Structure 1
Amino acid sequence: MLQPIIAGVIGALTGFASSFAIVIAGLIAVGASPDEAASGLLALCIAQALLAALLSWQSKLPLSFAWSTPGAALLVAAGGSTGSYGAAIGAFIVCGLLIVVSGLWSWLGRAMTRIPMPLAGAMLAGILFPICIAPVTAVIEEPLLAAPVIIVWLLLVRWWPRWAVPAAMLVAIVGVVVSAGSEWMLGATLTPGFTLTMPELDPLVIVSLGVPLYIVTMAGQNVPGFAVLATLGYRNVPARRMLAASGAATVLAAPFGGYALNLAALTAALMAGPDSHPDPAKRWVAPVAGGATYIVLGLGAGVATALVSAAPPILIIAVAGLALLGAFTTGLVSAFEVPETRLTAAVTLIVVASGVVVLGVGSAFWGLIVGALVMLVTRPRTVVGPPVPEAGAEE
């Protein structure tokens, strides 16, 4: 059973190293203090570990969970528009409740999977666009720190793509430690704890943050996660139970900063694939081992938060941009795949990427609304002509 354990540990290390910085940056962007951001990272690690362990053990299927990386990008994009961290917490809870309803009410779950791809893909690409251009900006603003990160990432994309982003993050951490000296350790908490924040239900924040967070988590994480499992031969997974459980875990973790939990996609391919174990019946051990690894990693959330706080913000977002290039490309491809709806996709992407806030509601929501209107106006009209005689009929 050593092989699936190793696969689980590697999957957890890869998932954590690739995106923990954007999680911390996203929570700080919506008003969290460093201690609250560390609490959020710890809550996410423990919650997804428990989800993976309990559901995988119960079903004997390799069911792995993760935090929503596109959701973290949405938090970064929404920075300064939430008013207070408590309002953001309220939006997290609403997102979790919507995921629960998606699992319990099959109609909503099916409706989420049927959002037109030009809208869903363009919204995802629009959210990620400002982050994916950060590496370019970082090279100009922080060349000594950013250039080595990008060079290492590019080299490993060619030879060891699985380790490209973790290695880039490691180079960024080394650069921050060297440039900041020992000062960054002054704010480090070796034993992070949970920080409870009372939620505030602000309708505008729920519409501009909670609803888009739900949509990108479902369309950008859960749907691909189910697709990965189906591709690997797991077609009878307890989908409704998984959605309901991840939504409930989000609701419970939200007051501590856990913004959104979902089915894993990238790490699921590692833990549920043949690299985990030749026998599919034994691969369920990998998510359990990965969950245990996440708990250990979560205990270092205070140190991780101190590092991110000491780093130039553009450097952290640049590493996140490298990590999210794959998701950005996927969003673009799905958005512009059909020629007839490319105008809809372009308008949606532009509105979302603009970052505008209208009536207190952020650009992700307005991008969906404007895109839907453009789709309704520009969709091909059905022309009713004279009846066509059936073959063989008399004229």
Structure 2
Amino acid sequence: MARSLLADTSLSTVSAGFVAVLVGIASSVAIVFEAARAAGADEAMMASWIGALGLGMGLTCIAFSWYYRAPVITAWSTPGAALLATGLVGVPMAEAVGAFVFSALLTLLVGLSGTFDKVMRRIPIPIASAMLAGILVQFGLSVFTSLQSNPLLVGAMLLTYLLGRRWLPRYAIILVLAVGFALCWPLGLIHVDQLQWAPGRPIAIVPRFELSTLLGVGLPLFIVTMTSQNIPGVATLRASGYGQVPVSPVISGTGLTSLLLTPFGGFAFNLAAITAAICTGPEAHADPARRYTAGIAAGVFYLLVGLSGASVVALFSAFPQALIASLAGLALIGTIGSSLASATGDADSREAALITFLITASGASFFGIGAAFWGLLGGLVSYWLFRRGNP
């Protein structure tokens, strides 16, 4: 087994795992800090949150990817963190942890019951692919919006990507990463002089259950994580050809991980979509059967983030936003293309898929639920109406 893992691992899969972690941490860690501050967490508690989240994501990425031989990437719930940043204001930390426990229990029950798996089987692949494309298209566009604000850095990264895809396609993203890092130093765009390594210390909070907090924070956290994170996460796996991964055990695993780590700040774990697309696409490896090592690599890097506490997070945050946005966008171009091809390949479902894509890409949010859910709902309704209208 070890020999097989070593044989399947390549520089491209390791770099895909690293880029996924880089994008995942640097793009949303500020939201997690805001959520922790809303609950009254001090710096030590924030480090505990990052440690718990890194540990949970690392272990689940490694375990799922190894067991299912597929790049199964997990993440913290970014929409959930955004919800907590406003919903936890004035809520005592013990009650907040109680809400986390409640959300984790609901997730575990949904996974064990098989309900989520049954629902996902009823979602046509063109609709799921269109939703994924709608989620990712903003990242593709960000390459060119970043080019306007930082033409030298992003222009060099874009040129490297084009040349790399022409002559070294498997290593195009690692070359883009290297060029981006190399240019950041002379351009003065990254500042790490004051950073020092320091591990985080786990701090456990005993949960306290208050009905108003459970319904006002715990239930919305569960709903937002399921609709805005797990559904797109499953769609990513399906659109990338990893339909053999059973959904219910993975959902159960993330729920159990959340349940065990909530006292330390692991508020919600779920399947990833955006960072998963980096590891499930052809840029990770030409052979889909070997891309699972990208998931394992991502897990190892997440564990390092958790063990190093706030210092590693600060290091990730020190990278310029233009680099992060461009790196994510370039890494996802192949996945965006394949998702659009899958979404529009069937003429009978093309219009419904386009409706899904447009709603999702719009970013429209209603009742605290993100555009991915509404895009999926709009696409399914359209798909059903158009199908019924055909003889």
TM-score where L is the length of structure 2: 0.70
Q: 3-state SS of the aligned residue for 1:373?
A: helix
Call closer, same or farther: CA 1:323–1:189 in 2, change over 3 Å: same
Match of 2:229 in 1: 213
Asked if the contact 2:161–2:172 (Cα under 8 Å) also holds between the matched residues in 1, the reply is yes
| Percent of aligned positions that are identical | 25
Match of 1:46 in 2: 55
Give 1:266's aligned amino acid.
Answer: T
**Rounded Cα–Cα distance in structure 1 between residues aligned with 2:237 and 2:22:** 18
**Rounded Cα–Cα distance in structure 2 between residues aligned with 1:285 and 1:153:** 23
Deviations for 1:338-375, whole angstroms, at most 9, x for unmatched residues?
11222212222112111223344332222223323333
- Does residue 42 of structure 2 align to residue 67 of structure 1? no
Match of 1:164 in 2: 172
**Rounded Cα–Cα distance in structure 1 between residues aligned with 2:294 and 2:341:** 31
Asked if the contact 1:46–1:295 (Cα under 8 Å) also holds between the matched residues in 2, the reply is yes
Q: 3-state SS of the aligned residue for 1:339?
A: coil
Asked if the contact 1:62–1:272 (Cα under 8 Å) also holds between the matched residues in 2, the reply is no
Asked if the contact 1:48–1:291 (Cα under 8 Å) also holds between the matched residues in 2, the reply is yes
- Does residue 261 of structure 2 align to residue 260 of structure 1? no
Q: Which of residues 337, 349, 355 is equivalent to 1:341?
A: 349
Asked if the contact 1:9–1:293 (Cα under 8 Å) also holds between the matched residues in 2, the reply is no
Match of 2:15 in 1: 14
Match of 1:352 in 2: 360
Asked if the contact 1:8–1:288 (Cα under 8 Å) also holds between the matched residues in 2, the reply is no
Asked if the contact 1:354–1:363 (Cα under 8 Å) also holds between the matched residues in 2, the reply is yes
**Rounded Cα–Cα distance in structure 1 between residues aligned with 2:227 and 2:56:** 21
Worse-matched range after superposition: 365-374 or 241-250: 241-250
Gaps of 5+ in 1: 231-236, 277-283, 384-395
Call closer, same or farther: CA 1:272–1:96 in 2, change over 3 Å: farther
Q: 3-state SS of the aligned residue for 1:184?
A: coil
**Rounded Cα–Cα distance in structure 2 between residues aligned with 1:335 and 1:209:** 24
- Does residue 28 of structure 2 align to residue 27 of structure 1? yes
Structure number with greater Rg is: 1
Asked if the contact 1:138–1:146 (Cα under 8 Å) also holds between the matched residues in 2, the reply is yes
Q: Which of residues 123, 127, 139 is equivalent to 2:135?
A: 127
Q: 3-state SS of the aligned residue for 2:217?
A: coil
**Rounded Cα–Cα distance in structure 2 between residues aligned with 1:67 and 1:162:** 23
- Does residue 76 of structure 2 align to residue 84 of structure 1? no
Asked if the contact 1:39–1:257 (Cα under 8 Å) also holds between the matched residues in 2, the reply is no
Counterparts of residues 1-395 of structure 1 (less than 5 Å) = 4-5=5-6, 7-8=8-9, 10=11, 13-28=14-29, 30-32=31-33, 43=52, 45-51=54-60, 62=69, 65-67=72-74, 75=78, 83-84=85-86, 100-101=108-109, 103-180=111-188, 183-186=191-194, 189-192=197-200, 201=217, 206-221=222-237, 224=240, 226-227=242-243, 241-253=249-261, 255-256=265-266, 259-261=269-271, 266=280, 295-296=303-304, 299=307, 302-381=310-389
Call closer, same or farther: CA 1:258–1:104 in 2, change over 3 Å: closer
Deviations for 1:68-96, whole angstroms, at most 9, x for unmatched residues?
5xx88xx48x9967653859999998886
Deviations for 1:160-179, whole angstroms, at most 9, x for unmatched residues?
33322233223323333333
**Rounded Cα–Cα distance in structure 2 between residues aligned with 1:102 and 1:358:** 23
Give 2:23's aligned amino acid.
Answer: I
Q: 3-state SS of the aligned residue for 2:335?
A: helix
Call closer, same or farther: CA 1:53–1:317 in 2, change over 3 Å: closer
Cα RMSD (Å): 4.7
Q: Following TM superposition, by how much is the alpha carbon of 1:293 offset from its aligned partner in structure 2, in angstroms?
A: 6.5
Worse-matched range after superposition: 248-257 or 85-94: 85-94
Q: 3-state SS of the aligned residue for 1:115?
A: coil
**Rounded Cα–Cα distance in structure 2 between residues aligned with 1:160 and 1:7:** 19
Deviations for 1:122-154, whole angstroms, at most 9, x for unmatched residues?
221111111111111111110121112222222
Asked if the contact 2:239–2:342 (Cα under 8 Å) also holds between the matched residues in 1, the reply is no
Q: Following TM superposition, by how much is the alpha carbon of 1:381 offset from its aligned partner in structure 2, in angstroms?
A: 2.5
Worse-matched range after superposition: 9-18 or 117-126: 9-18
Give 1:244's aligned amino acid.
Answer: S
Worse-matched range after superposition: 94-103 or 340-349: 94-103
Give 2:280's aligned amino acid.
Answer: L
Asked if the contact 1:205–1:361 (Cα under 8 Å) also holds between the matched residues in 2, the reply is no
Call closer, same or farther: CA 1:354–1:296 in 2, change over 3 Å: closer
**Rounded Cα–Cα distance in structure 2 between residues aligned with 1:246 and 1:225:** 21
Q: Following TM superposition, by how much is the alpha carbon of 1:214 offset from its aligned partner in structure 2, in angstroms?
A: 1.3
Asked if the contact 1:37–1:305 (Cα under 8 Å) also holds between the matched residues in 2, the reply is no
Q: Following TM superposition, by how much is the alpha carbon of 1:240 offset from its aligned partner in structure 2, in angstroms?
A: 5.4
